[in-house]
Structure 1
Amino acid sequence: MTSGLRRRLLVLLLVPLLLLALINAWFDYRSASNVAGQQDQRLAALLPLLADSIIAEGQKPGDPPVLLLAPAVDEFLSSPASAYSLCDPDGKALRGEAWMCDLAPTSREAEFHSEEYEGTTWRIVRQRQQSVLGEVVVVLADGSDPRQQWARAILFKVLLPNLVLLTLAAFAVRWAVARALKPLLDLRVAVESRSPRDLSSLDESASPEEVRPLVHSLNRLFELVNAQAESQRRFIADAAHQLRTPLAGLQAQVEAWAHATPAADAMVRLPAHEVAKLRDATRRTSQLASQLLALSRADARTMHAQPMQRVDLKALCEDILQHHLDDATAKHIDLGLDAQPASAHAHEWLLREALENLVDNAVKYTPPGGTVTIHCGLRGGVPFLSVEDDGPGIAPAERSRVLERFYRVKGTPGEGNGLGLAIADEIARVHHGHLTLESGNGGRGLKATLALPG
């Protein structure tokens, strides 16, 4: 849009200048033509005077006739850019320039034409006139005809200055247009550089007056979209919160039922595998509700107003290790810790949620007898949390997609909701960090690293 505006402004400003230059050249040509017309009239008026200037024949046969030039004719011929000739009707030169006697007039009217001779373009007028010698052809030539000088004058006095003016004007107009459109370009950059989750209002006072209605409309749209998104977040949070209590109660009852001593009446008891399926379903449903609640609370649009604090990453990793140690031991997984002292300015409960999901995924998908290691420390001065396993890993082509909500790689064993990595990625964005997925040590398994600002 801006480049189109720039082109249109340049065209609208430069085309009138070009038209003015052409109009100026046309007026110059008209002026030269008027002057040339007046010069033709002057030459035509001098022809009878030149004929009357012949006062006698030459003293001897073949001698030129005797002239007594009229003052007007004498004044005209005093210029080096003028010439005359007296010719007989057959084209023989009687006096003056012989080269001007080549063409004889076909009538008694004055005949004008232009002719080039010895590098000069002459304006020549010829006419038959009566004199003391009888009928003669009187010829006058003017080498300073404005029409002949017009081409050079139009080049050096009109076209060349206007071309220089247009070139300078093009640069000046381009600079002025760029300066004038800079606020609009800044507005475009401000909108393009925004995160899709940033729906805060634009500063209307920083926008040009002509663009403020557009900025106002954008802000209004941002408010409507933000209100709709906020309503959806509240719904998810409220629904997940309301589901947690009955699901927790149901899970507790199923767990108690599964571990209860078999009742005497075997007819009312469910088979053991059915009880296990019911227990797994309640666990997954309860985990889904917890993850939905965590995802809603971790939304970047709702966390900017909440204060951060200094979080001890090593202590956090040790706590998470203790929390998942029993699950890892049950699968004969070696759950270890490689922690260096480090801290980050963050929301402690969000980092806990992210690390919980990364460790839970690693323990869940690593086969029995595998290894899961929790890392933390500084890398290039940047604090990080990392979980590495030697499980099946994730193909490079799928690593960007597994960060999407509810996406699971086809053929992934076990049950899951596809939210663990999405929650960790959302939490990374809340802290202006990033989550990277890569192969583990030796190219095996998966290593998920959460880089955080110091």
Structure 2
Amino acid sequence: MRRRTDAAPAEGMIWGLQRRLLVMLFLPLGLVGLVSVFFHYQSAGTVALQQDQQLLRLVPLLADSVVVRQSHEEAPADLEAPPGLVLLLAPPVQEFLKEREGFAGYGVMDGSGRLLLGATWLPPVLPSTADPEFISVVEAGVTYRVVAQRSSTSAGELIVMLADGSDARQHWFDTVLLRVLLPNLLLMVLAAAAVAWAVARALRPLIDLKQAVERRSPRDLSPLDAESVPAEVLPLVSSLNRLFALVNDQTEAQRRFVADAAHQLRTPLAGLQAQVEAWAQAARALGSGDLLTLRVDQVQRLRDATRRTSQLANQLLALSRADAVSAGAQPTEQVDLQELCGNILALYLDAAGSKQMDLGLEAQAAQTRGHAWLLRELLINVVDNAVKYTSVGGRITLRCGTEHADTGPRAWMEVEDDGPGIACEEQERVLQRFYRLPGTHTEGNGLGLAIAHEIARAHRTHLQLDVGALGHGLRVRVAFDSVTPKPQALTR
């Protein structure tokens, strides 16, 4: 089994950034080095060309330096020179040889290539014309640039040669090595050490952040400290804090949902159990006639308790779904509010008719983007509240349409009734879960407007509670961003 350590990921992260920084640093340095080598070589070629031109200027002067001597004794002892031949160097040639002592030479040969005067290591060169010829000669590890020219002198036609061993092109590599390559290599080594140290030091806050996250308990969703992290990591920390907040909200919503569900289901279930037990005890004690009357009454109560329990379960499920949508990003769709209001109207015609209510619809074309099933749940809860709390013979109106606001076109829908209404000081509290107005005798769970409020929040809007148009009752309105209706397909 492999053991996983905390240091391994951090070390890999450091080396990964170090390699990237070193590559990004060495590539420009290498390119600069290549450019420097190229220009150094070009400069060496230019110097060598100038030296060739200097040799060409000095060769005629070397030929003019050959004169005829007057006596045989003046001939050099190491050369088999013809009688009467002597070399009187011109000052420019003499200065050239003195400046390059040990790296220059000269030679005088007859027409057949026999050396008469000068360095013995010079090879015999026999130019076929009077034009100068250049050759390279290696002597004692030094490369000489040699020019040979057939010239007419006072001693006749001779071949004069002048050699220069200071050719810049043969020393350019040493120059480049000392002036370009070695300094760049040293710079690269220092840069690698500096990058390694700087990356390790710069990533210390990031590694501390990683360790702080790893040491956290799964239940600890508190935000990370954004003040102690570098500016480059601040967007990451902000994103993590937003994620922690969303997860915390969702967890809190689920925890609250479970607690509320357990608390609210306990009451109707206890009532249902009490009704069943009372029915069983009365059935054993009463006669057949009284038992029939008891059965009708108990069945009615059981039905009401069952309906209330079923409605509570449905409302809790809708509330949980609204919380889930609020905490996460789910895809939306285009919703036709006019069609939605028409469907809900048809759904509550029977309930309104049983209380002799006037349930009407005033709808105009209006569309928005959202979750169709949640908007349907919102409207159902608002209409259900209106039907439940409006007295017999009351009036309820569903409306939808569009309007122009400062932020652009808005699509809206509302439900207005002429019931008892909600006092202004209670309008905020009725949006809380399981809150019921004091003195309310109608059965309910206190979830209708709370569910509608959560669904409105999930669509980035809110419920607007106001007094009805006639000065009493309640008007519940919600507005959304309006969208352009989809084009209808043409049919033949």
Scaled by the length of structure 1, the TM-score of the pair is 0.51
Q: What percentage of aligned pairs have identical amino acids?
A: 57
- Name the structure 1 match of 2:472: none
Do the aligned residues in 2 keep the contact of 1:21 with 1:159 (CA within 8 Å)? Answer: yes
Alpha-carbon RMSD: 3.5
- Aligned 1:81-96 pairs, distance under 5 A: 81-96=103-118
- Name the structure 2 match of 1:74: 94
Q: In 2 relative to 1, CA 131–234 (structure 1 residues): closer, same or farther, beyond 3 Å?
A: same
CA distance in 2, matches of 1:94, 1:21: 49
- Aligned 1:264-413 pairs, distance under 5 A: none
- Aligned 1:36-435 pairs, distance under 5 A: 36-56=48-68, 59=71, 62-63=80-81, 65-78=85-98, 79-245=101-267
CA distance in 2, matches of 1:96, 1:56: 16
CA distance in 2, matches of 1:125, 1:66: 21
Counterpart of 1:174 in 2: which secondary structure?
A: helix
Letter in 2 for 1:37: L
**Equivalences, count:** 268
Report deviation, 1:254: 9.1
Do the aligned residues in 1 keep the contact of 2:107 with 2:162 (CA within 8 Å)? Answer: yes
CA distance in 2, matches of 1:193, 1:19: 46
Once the two structures are superposed, what CA deviation does each residue of 1:83-130 show, in whole Å capped at 9, x if it has no partner?
A: 111112322111112331333334433322322112222222222222
Counterpart of 2:220 in 1: which secondary structure?
A: coil
CA distance in 1, matches of 2:247, 2:14: 26
Determine which structure has more spread, i.e. the larger CA radius of gyration.
Answer: 2
Letter in 1 for 2:81: D
- Name the structure 2 match of 1:363: none
Deviates most, 199-208 or 5-14: 5-14
CA distance in 2, matches of 1:109, 1:230: 101
Report deviation, 1:6: 3.8
Do the aligned residues in 1 keep the contact of 2:110 with 2:157 (CA within 8 Å)? Answer: yes
Report deviation, 1:9: 2.4
CA distance in 2, matches of 1:69, 1:84: 11
- Name the structure 1 match of 2:38: 26
Q: In 2 relative to 1, CA 150–109 (structure 1 residues): closer, same or farther, beyond 3 Å?
A: same
Structure 2: which 5+ runs fail to align?
A: 1-12, 292-492
Q: In 2 relative to 1, CA 239–142 (structure 1 residues): closer, same or farther, beyond 3 Å?
A: same
Counterpart of 1:100 in 2: which secondary structure?
A: coil
CA distance in 1, matches of 2:111, 2:69: 16
Do the aligned residues in 1 keep the contact of 2:221 with 2:245 (CA within 8 Å)? Answer: yes
CA distance in 2, matches of 1:254, 1:6: 76
Do the aligned residues in 2 keep the contact of 1:57 with 1:133 (CA within 8 Å)? Answer: no
Letter in 1 for 2:19: R
CA distance in 2, matches of 1:107, 1:43: 18
Q: In 2 relative to 1, CA 249–66 (structure 1 residues): closer, same or farther, beyond 3 Å?
A: same
Structure 1: which 5+ runs fail to align?
A: 269-454
Scaled by the length of structure 2, the TM-score of the pair is 0.48
